[in-house]
Structure 1
Amino acid sequence: MKLAAAKVPVSTVWTSSDAPRDLDAAAVAAVPDVAAWAKSMTTETRLGLHGRTLTQLLFAEPVLVRSEKGGWSEIVAPWQPSSEDALGYPGWVPSAHLGELPSAATSPVAVKVPTAALTAEPGSGALTELSFGTVLASTDHADGFTQVALPDGASGWLADDVIRSVEEPSTPEDRIRLGSLFLGLEYLWGGTSAYGLDCSGLTHAVSRVLGQRIPRDAHDQADRLEPVPLDEVRPGDLYFFARPGQQIHHVGFVSAEGMLHASETGKVLENEALLPERRETLVAAARL
């Protein structure tokens, strides 16, 4: 195995190299346009991602490459803990999406807004747009901008007002505030970026910005996080849902209104009261 890092803003992780459909071409291009890909899909074609997509890598996220075949790399993502593999979340990505790890790995900062302009110099034109949840090592600071280490030995700059130190203390209110940035965003199976989120992608991405590395999937989050009785939950905790005799399939943030969550395909991220049919499947809660 070798170490690598995502060198594109968002790389979708697939179940296999032949999982993408023709309509997924923008997501698997050497320079992917995940925003355009997500916008192009209907509810029906989004449903077709089940069994095809698994998760997403964000810019500079490290991976272990297990094998390479036909322009694709079999990887595991250690920043996304999973019961599927002790080393991280497994799957396949286009090899063109991977580069060398950034040279620095200290003083990490995270993008705390939906998208942020990465520039070559402070205040210059954007090189690319980075998604919420992107974590980069900071190496310098000047005039309201922070220099960050990039894949393949490069460097860039981000405005201070779009990032936060992942070492900065956080509060439960921060989880609700950050999650609420995406109210109205359409659900995307396997999504962990500003262009589409699934339920556990939302809780995972928000936690990453706040310096907490939690499992990628809802059932793993329930297994590994601190349990809390359902009658003792408070805003910022997590609710988990499962049908009788089945694995946990849904997660959301407890909120003053009820729950902030990315609802299923065909719906959008919302902050709403827990309806009776939702309460029937509420099985557990956890505290971050």
Structure 2
Amino acid sequence: MKLVAAKVPVSTVWTSPDAPRDIDAPATAAQPDVAAWAKSMDTETRLGLHGRTLTQLLFAEPVLVRSERAGWSEIVAPWQPSSQDELGYPGWVPSSHLGELPGAASDPVAVAVPTAQLFAEPGAGPVAELSFATVLASMEHADGYTRVATPDGGSGWLADDVLRTGPGTAEDRLRLGSQFLGLEYLWGGTAAYGLDCSGLVHAVSRVLGVRTPRDAHDQAATLENIAIDEAQPGDLYFFARPGETVHHVGFVSAEGMLHASETGKRLENEPVSDERRATLVSAARL
């Protein structure tokens, strides 16, 4: 295995090289346009992602490559813990989306707004649009900008006001997640162009320097369990049908729950319905 990094802003992870459909071409292109891809899909097309997409990698995220085949790489994502593999979340991505690890690996900063422009130099035109929860190693600070290490030995600059460092409070988790109210659900999404329920929790946690499992059932199994009636805003609710594993997660909020509901719906902050509450099985604290 070799350790590399995602060199595109968002790389979607697939179940196999054969999983993408013709409509998914913008997501698998050498320079993917995930925003356009998400915009192009109606509800039926998004439902077709079930069994095809798994998760997403963000710019500069480390990746272990297990094998390569016909322009695709079989990978595991160490920053996305999973019960499927002790090394990280497994799947397949186009090999063109991968490059050399950034040279620096300390003083991490995270993009804390939905999208942020990466500049070659402060004041110059943008060279890339980075997603929320992108984590990069900072190299220097100057005049309201931070220089960060990028894949393939490069560097770039981000405005300080789009970045965050260090842990946060329950209020921070809800504030960060609330930036995506109205965003359409995307199966396997961890980026600003579409999120699924556990992807929201994973991405918000990443911004605050907390590494959580990628999937809801793994989050329920590994995070600090608390009694449901003790849950406070910023904690997590988990849901499962009788005899089945956890299938949904959301942030407890003053209104009820902040969550990415399901395909065909949008990220919302709403009371927990009686139907949903009937499947509420546990709670946890980050």
TM bin (shorter chain) = over 0.9
Match of 1:43 in 2: 43
- Give the distance between the partners of 2:195 and 2:51, measured in 1 at CA: 16
2:267 is equivalent to residue 284 of structure 1: no
Q: Secondary structure at the match of 1:204?
A: helix
Match of 2:138 in 1: 138
Superposition RMSD on alpha carbons, in Å? 0.4
**Structure 1: which amino acid aligns with 2:157?**
W
Output one character per residue of 1:233-260: Cα deviation in whole Å (capped at 9) or x when no partner: 0000000000000010000000000000
Match of 1:52 in 2: 52
Q: Does structure 1 retain, via aligned residues, the 8 Å contact 2:10–2:56?
A: yes
Match of 1:5 in 2: 5
- Give the distance between the partners of 2:204 and 2:275, measured in 1 at CA: 26
- Give the distance between the partners of 1:169 and 1:130, measured in 2 at CA: 21
Match of 2:184 in 1: 186
Match of 2:256 in 1: 258
Match of 2:267 in 1: 269
- Give the distance between the partners of 1:84 and 1:126, measured in 2 at CA: 38
**Structure 2: which amino acid aligns with 1:279?**
R
Q: Once structures 1 and 2 are overlaid, which stretch shifts more, 168-177 or 90-99?
A: 168-177
**Structure 2: which amino acid aligns with 1:46?**
R
- Which residue, out of 194, 199, 206, partners 1:208? 206
- Give the distance between the partners of 2:155 and 2:98, measured in 1 at CA: 16
Q: For structure 1, list consecutive stretches of 5 or more residues without a partner in the other structure.
A: none
**Structure 2: which amino acid aligns with 1:241?**
F
- Give the distance between the partners of 1:13 and 1:169, measured in 2 at CA: 28
Q: How does 1:24-103 map to 2 (within 5 A)?
A: 24-103=24-103
Q: Secondary structure at the match of 2:238?
A: strand
**Structure 2: which amino acid aligns with 1:116?**
A
Q: Does structure 1 retain, via aligned residues, the 8 Å contact 2:255–2:270?
A: yes
TM-score (norm 1): 0.99
Match of 1:118 in 2: 118
**Structure 1: which amino acid aligns with 2:138?**
S
**Structure 2: which amino acid aligns with 1:169?**
P
Q: CA deviation at 1:169?
A: 3.3
- Give the distance between the partners of 1:60 and 1:278, measured in 2 at CA: 37
Aligned residues: 286
Match of 1:161 in 2: 161
**Structure 2: which amino acid aligns with 1:49?**
L
- Give the distance between the partners of 2:207 and 2:121, measured in 1 at CA: 24
Q: CA deviation at 1:112?
A: 0.2
Q: Secondary structure at the match of 2:178?
A: helix
**Structure 2: which amino acid aligns with 1:59?**
F
TM-score (norm 2): 1.00
**Structure 2: which amino acid aligns with 1:214?**
T
Q: CA deviation at 1:124?
A: 1.1
Match of 2:218 in 1: 220
Q: Does structure 1 retain, via aligned residues, the 8 Å contact 2:147–2:158?
A: yes
Output one character per residue of 1:72-108: Cα deviation in whole Å (capped at 9) or x when no partner: 0000000000000000000000000000000000000
- Give the distance between the partners of 1:223 and 1:244, measured in 2 at CA: 17
**Structure 1: which amino acid aligns with 2:39?**
K
**Structure 1: which amino acid aligns with 2:71?**
G
- Give the distance between the partners of 2:215 and 2:160, measured in 1 at CA: 31
Q: Does structure 1 retain, via aligned residues, the 8 Å contact 2:167–2:210?
A: no
Identity of aligned residues (%): 80
